[in-house]
Structure 1
């Protein structure tokens, strides 16, 4: 696999980054915290999504202050091009994936889960395997060495896909145990079935079935005999019942005829009473008709009299008004009355419209009056408020003038304090603004002096110790330098030389202490002047703030004066407008009085019209009632005639029913009825007894039939048990065979895993020694031993074994890198030609390495490239690694925006591996 291009937008510290990667060794270089590792995290996240985030969440990868992020990765795998694109978006407090697409030459895969599954299948490793093999993340360089042997075994087995064989072996073991459990259960079932079959066969079911069937036939014959006799008794009962029912029907018909005869007599009498009542009603209605005629005549005369008293009686209303209405002269008919009503209602409608118009005018003028009065009150109230606000502003104007005087005085005081602070630099060699730099420079000089003073003190201590030791040897008669006898020794005078050296070192220490004290005084002076600079800066900021506040207060004072004058002018205008409104209300009040007078006249005219209308409506009611009375009289006459016809028909029906009753009474035979009752009682007694007997026999037959069914069910159950017994025996044979096969399969998977692990251990040990030899040529280590449980042992040149944890920090880190590279080579050889390995990625591998070990790391990187690793990406801040680069990418972070930017650099012409 080869990474072609990685593009990031709003991903952590990257705003917008686009980088293409080539074959060979690519060094991503930059200072710590510049965002180098984030670039590789983007590649890892593009491949595996949220599984690459450890314990972090999706919202952690979106740049602070942004709501969306995008990651795009293009790579080539097994000579096929692929592209992954992931988009994230903040929704509230959580980030979600809005787009996740993997484009292949043949299809497009969507969805985070499906894309991760496809990538895992392509690379033959999930996210955990990826970081254990190809991606050495920052701080995890010693991960394999610090792991326990069992954890290391699991990691490497998973990478070499041996875990699948263990999974298959466990599955085979589970299957074997499952088959054993099922087999034991089936054997128990088999034994139980055999016992059940034996119990059924001991019951002699066929002989018992024959006995029950013979008994059932005898009971059936007896039932058939009784049922024949019961049928004869039923026929006798049916004939007797028919005679009695006919007798009952005749008797009921006679009773019905008697009731109907009585009913007809009652109806004839009732109808005659109705005819008499109808005659009385006709007389009453005629009397009411005459009363209504008299009332109508009286009302008509009153109306004519009223019209004659008003004038000629031809119109209602003033003669000189266009609304006068012509009225009919006579009120002889209902049509005349209705015509006069229509005319009066029309006039009333006109007056009502005029009345409504006046009311609307009065209402509108009243509303206008209230509106004007309200506006006048509001104008006066607003004028009062504005005058009160003007008074408040005048008070604030006085406060503003006092505040301006105070701030002008404060500005003067600040100017004096600033000038006093600047005067502290007069006569000093440090210019204003340079105190901080001068202090830092002097502090660096002091640091060098203190360091040198420490070295001198250590030398003095060493010389004093040497002198003391030499004096002790000299007192014993030995040479103070070589420890040999003093006689003829050329080194006897060495103590004097050391004392001179000690004196020189003490003089140098005194000079350095004096220089340190002088530097301390210079640092104090610089610190004092730096404090003066801070005072000037602080006072200048205060002066600027006070000046700004003073300017704002002056502007506020001017605005308030203008506002105060404007408020008083507005108050005068409002009072003038209020006076105009009140004058307008007086004119409106006079117009309202005139309209109300006219309203009263119209109401009086309408009262006269309504009184006459009431009399006219009564005439209409009288005419309607008279017509109704005429109809009632006619209806009553017609009903009397109908009732006469109805009674004639009823009398004829009454005669016919009396004739029918006499005929039925002649047919009635009491002796025949008594004989039928006797036969019926005898038949009912026999049927009651024979039914009890038949019921008893049927119950016995059912009992025998149930017993036969039970025996037949047991026979069927016996046959089913025999069939099931045969099936279970066959199944037990199959399960025993399957158990043996599962046992064999379990052993085969275990042996295959052990064999493959041993072969991989041998190959990994060989590759690890080859890699380690390249790194540690001519060094103190001879070889590495790797046992079947992946326990590692390092042997020194003298054959002494060491645990990897006994190595120094740098050697342990380099050893672990060698192990990771050996595992990478093993996996590459194992799948060569089918699924090429992903790039080898090293994130800050020099964290635990000194300069010498960094050189060995460069050798390791070069060796992996020479062994055919197509693409190696190393992230580091170490300049020494730059020499191993085929491609150099520099990462810098903008201090203002806190965003990282990429820049492709030129690699050096000579790699560190080949330099002297």
Structure 2
């Protein structure tokens, strides 16, 4: 499979990205988090709907802007397989998923399949691989190469099992164990349920016996109920006749009682109204006596009103006389204080003019004080800046050992010294890093030599590397050579570490010196120097402007003295001025004197008329001095008079009521006599009725008991019948469960056999054994493409690699770092070729240099460059050093959360 183009729309951080894959190697380059790995995930999603996370929303681009609405998402992949071109599109439109596969026929894409299941099934048919096998075949994940190098045999074996999908059998082996546990619990549950069978059968037999007993009781009970029911009907008919006579008798007694009560009520009402009529006759005599006194009341009340009005008028005349006196007094005060008021007004105007002049003088004086303050503040700033510049010059002199007379001279020295120091620091840093890298390589070599030396110590006449026989001299020679190499490496490491220690001390000193240089803020010093010059010029200008303000203080003092003198004069006139204003305001408040005199004349005339009217009433009705008491006494008589008149008005209606009641009493008496005669004519005996009723009630209760017993027995039988039905159903279920139990036990045995087949010693072992020679062959073929000087290579069942060179057998610990990487890469590619059945057209490397040191990284880059047996490679990396691998470099960048290809 060769990928031609990939288009991502709203997939993860990619808004609209189209990638063309040209040439043998395409390098996808970008910083961590830029969206590189999303491209690989898009390929996996498009082919097999495989992506990180459980929900498809996780791969839908998240918008950060309100106007950036994300509704659709799709990935389009154009690829070639077996010389046939295909186009595959997978995504989501709204809430609906969409999948479509095209095949190119006669230079045009023709729809092949629509729908998730159909397309995925056809992709697996085209590639002849399922999703996991395909990804393991073409996709080398981060750390795969280093894991094959560094893991121990058991871990390496487990890793390769996962790549070959053999681990799925281990998963199945574990899942079968879970199934066995489930079925064992089911068997245990069924065993427990089946123990209920005997109990249910015993209870069913007991309930059946109870039903038969109840049926026998019902055969006796039903005829008894029929006989008793017939007797009750006869008694009920006889009792009904007696109850009819009882109802008539009781109704007539109630009527008689009501008539007696009504007759008594009407007789009492008649007596009450006759008493009321006698009282009315008494009231008529009293009304005649009261009427003569009541007629005088309106005239006495009029007299009272006239007297009250006369008193109010006299009071008003006195108030007006007092106001007239107040008006005359305030007119006199106004005339006495008028001159003092005029003088005070004149002084106030003069003071207002003087205060205006004083404000002008004061404003000018404040300007003068402000200039003096500005001069003092600027002089303080000049002194402070002079001290700061002098201190900076002294600090620079102390640091550089020379005298400076200006910020410009300091700037020139700082620039030169900074450039020299930074260059020296870079040189020292490069040398230290170079020494550190060399130390790392030497220590790695030392470990390998020490390992070989340790293996040599455990042998006498056999080479620990090739396992061939060697002489004692050769053994000693190898041992001495390894020891000498270890000593040389140790001395070299010690020299390099001493050199780094010395250079680190120099580096610290230079960094401290550079830090002091950087602490000198040249621009700040230059700004302060300019401020110093500007402030000095401003002070000179301000001091020259002070001549304009001479004599201002004397004019201000003279104005203050004049104001104080006039204010003293105005104060002596203040009391008379207050009296003047009080009189003016009082006169305005009181009003016109003539109006009050005119009102008094009018009130005096009115009083003469009122006095004459009062005298006339007193003489005519012989009114005494206690007018109020007389009026109160007459009002009480008037109330009594009105009340009596109301009572007398009811006289005629009372007479009519008495006549009506007399007639009604006569009628009730006649009806009562007739009712008493009718009661005597009815034949009714209470004792006979009670005896019959008691017999009937007793028989009825007996019948109810027997009926209740019948219902109880029938209900018990119905419930018992239902229980038996349920027991029959339960027994049927238990019978089915017995059959199920037999099947479960047979299936459990089958699962045990399957688990044994899927175990590590079963199909897993056979698959590993079958695939090992294939992987070995492919690994050797790939390794031989790199032209190393080895005659053979073998892999054991734990995938430990042995290399052979003439008569020597070497493991991976005995070969160089570059050879190790080639071996690991060859093994990984060999696995890929076995998985893809030798159709390895595509290889994807995800961050292949991650976790590798500098030496291994450089060697791996060189090895990848030499791979020529894979038609297409996609390499994802953040390592800029890998740009030399390819001319087709796809640089991924992310801005504002959106990934794109940088042009």
TM-score above 0.5, yes or no: yes
Distance 1:252 1:215 in 2: 52
Written as runs of structure 1 = structure 2, the 5 A alignment for 1:346-745 is 398=376, 400-408=378-386, 410-412=388-390, 414-415=392-393, 418=396, 424=402, 435-436=420-421, 439=424, 538=520, 540=522, 543-544=525-526, 546-547=528-529, 550=532, 594=584, 596-601=586-591, 643-667=650-674, 669=676, 679-730=685-736, 732-733=738-739, 736-737=742-743, 740=746
Q: Which among 748, 756, 766 is matched to residue 774 of structure 2?
A: 766
Distance 1:554 1:281 in 2: 123
Distance 2:292 2:765 in 1: 134
Secondary structure, in 3 states, of the residue corresponding to 1:688? helix
Report if aligned partners of 1:169, 1:747 keep a CA contact under 8 Å in 2.
no
1:35 aligns with 2:42: no
Q: Which among 254, 259, 263 is matched to residue 260 of structure 2?
A: 254
Tell me the CA shift for residue 770 of structure 1.
Answer: 0.9
Distance 2:314 2:422 in 1: 129
- The one-character-per-residue Cα deviations of 1:688-742 (angstroms, maximum 9, x if unpaired) are 3542354245324423442343234334433443354345424543564576568
Distance 2:221 2:662 in 1: 72
Report if aligned partners of 1:436, 1:526 keep a CA contact under 8 Å in 2.
no
Tell me the CA shift for residue 435 of structure 1.
Answer: 3.5
1:875 aligns with 2:877: yes
Tell me the CA shift for residue 292 of structure 1.
Answer: 2.9
Tell me the CA shift for residue 404 of structure 1.
Answer: 1.9
1:76 aligned partner? 77
Extract unaligned runs of 5+ from structure 2. Answer: 80-85, 102-115, 321-354, 405-412, 440-471, 474-494, 611-634
Q: Which among 209, 226, 231 is matched to residue 225 of structure 1?
A: 231
Report if aligned partners of 1:422, 1:532 keep a CA contact under 8 Å in 2.
no
Pick closer, same or farther for the CA change 1:148–1:660 going to 2, 3 Å: farther
Distance 1:310 1:197 in 2: 120
Report if aligned partners of 2:378, 2:535 keep a CA contact under 8 Å in 1.
yes
Tell me the CA shift for residue 651 of structure 1.
Answer: 1.7
Pick closer, same or farther for the CA change 1:810–1:535 going to 2, 3 Å: closer
Secondary structure, in 3 states, of the residue corresponding to 2:21? coil
Secondary structure, in 3 states, of the residue corresponding to 1:863? coil
Distance 2:301 2:707 in 1: 100
Secondary structure, in 3 states, of the residue corresponding to 1:142? helix
1:847 aligns with 2:852: yes
Written as runs of structure 1 = structure 2, the 5 A alignment for 1:330-345 is none
2:6 aligned partner? 4
Distance 1:746 1:610 in 2: 136
Distance 1:163 1:858 in 2: 37
Distance 1:72 1:711 in 2: 70
1:887 aligned partner? 888
Extract unaligned runs of 5+ from structure 1. Answer: 87-98, 107-115, 317-376, 455-482, 485-511, 617-627, 905-916
Count residues in correspondence: 710
1:343 aligned partner? none
Distance 1:448 1:442 in 2: 10
Tell me the CA shift for residue 209 of structure 1.
Answer: 0.7
Tell me the CA shift for residue 398 of structure 1.
Answer: 3.4
Report if aligned partners of 1:241, 1:680 keep a CA contact under 8 Å in 2.
no
- The one-character-per-residue Cα deviations of 1:732-791 (angstroms, maximum 9, x if unpaired) are 43564576568658866985897699558745762464145312556548445475xxx4
Written as runs of structure 1 = structure 2, the 5 A alignment for 1:172-211 is 173=180, 176-177=183-184, 180-181=187-188, 183-201=190-208, 205-206=211-212, 208-211=214-217
1:212 aligns with 2:218: yes
Scaled by the length of structure 1, the TM-score of the pair is: 0.56
Pick closer, same or farther for the CA change 1:752–1:525 going to 2, 3 Å: closer
Tell me the CA shift for residue 659 of structure 1.
Answer: 0.9
Pick closer, same or farther for the CA change 1:288–1:197 going to 2, 3 Å: same
Pick closer, same or farther for the CA change 1:182–1:385 going to 2, 3 Å: farther
Pick closer, same or farther for the CA change 1:890–1:249 going to 2, 3 Å: closer
Written as runs of structure 1 = structure 2, the 5 A alignment for 1:307-326 is none
Report if aligned partners of 1:844, 1:874 keep a CA contact under 8 Å in 2.
no
Distance 2:265 2:712 in 1: 60
Report if aligned partners of 2:313, 2:603 keep a CA contact under 8 Å in 1.
no
Report if aligned partners of 2:793, 2:803 keep a CA contact under 8 Å in 1.
yes
Pick closer, same or farther for the CA change 1:600–1:17 going to 2, 3 Å: same
Secondary structure, in 3 states, of the residue corresponding to 1:792? coil
Distance 2:11 2:722 in 1: 79
Secondary structure, in 3 states, of the residue corresponding to 1:215? helix
Distance 1:588 1:105 in 2: 108
Tell me the CA shift for residue 76 of structure 1.
Answer: 0.9
Pick closer, same or farther for the CA change 1:812–1:601 going to 2, 3 Å: farther
Report if aligned partners of 2:802, 2:812 keep a CA contact under 8 Å in 1.
no
Tell me the CA shift for residue 445 of structure 1.
Answer: 12
1:269 aligned partner? 275
Report if aligned partners of 2:91, 2:97 keep a CA contact under 8 Å in 1.
yes
Tell me the CA shift for residue 662 of structure 1.
Answer: 2.9
1:20 aligns with 2:24: no
Report if aligned partners of 1:882, 1:888 keep a CA contact under 8 Å in 2.
yes
Report if aligned partners of 2:775, 2:830 keep a CA contact under 8 Å in 1.
yes
Pick closer, same or farther for the CA change 1:773–1:129 going to 2, 3 Å: closer
Pick closer, same or farther for the CA change 1:545–1:636 going to 2, 3 Å: same
Report if aligned partners of 2:225, 2:707 keep a CA contact under 8 Å in 1.
yes
Report if aligned partners of 1:418, 1:540 keep a CA contact under 8 Å in 2.
no
Alignment root-mean-square deviation, CA: 7.5
Report if aligned partners of 2:34, 2:892 keep a CA contact under 8 Å in 1.
no
Tell me the CA shift for residue 637 of structure 1.
Answer: 10
Pick closer, same or farther for the CA change 1:420–1:273 going to 2, 3 Å: same
Scaled by the length of structure 2, the TM-score of the pair is: 0.56
- The one-character-per-residue Cα deviations of 1:202-256 (angstroms, maximum 9, x if unpaired) are 55x4465134222332244135325533542453244135324413421331222
Report if aligned partners of 1:62, 1:69 keep a CA contact under 8 Å in 2.
no
1:327 aligned partner? none
Distance 1:653 1:449 in 2: 144
Tell me the CA shift for residue 859 of structure 1.
Answer: 3.7
Distance 1:548 1:285 in 2: 123
Q: Which among 127, 146, 149 is matched to residue 142 of structure 1?
A: 146
Distance 1:529 1:647 in 2: 134
Pick closer, same or farther for the CA change 1:443–1:639 going to 2, 3 Å: closer
Pick closer, same or farther for the CA change 1:767–1:235 going to 2, 3 Å: same
- The one-character-per-residue Cα deviations of 1:390-416 (angstroms, maximum 9, x if unpaired) are 979966853652442353355356457
Tell me the CA shift for residue 22 of structure 1.
Answer: 1.2
1:794 aligned partner? 801
Report if aligned partners of 2:91, 2:99 keep a CA contact under 8 Å in 1.
no
Report if aligned partners of 2:138, 2:844 keep a CA contact under 8 Å in 1.
yes
Pick closer, same or farther for the CA change 1:62–1:162 going to 2, 3 Å: same
1:347 aligned partner? none
Tell me the CA shift for residue 530 of structure 1.
Answer: 10
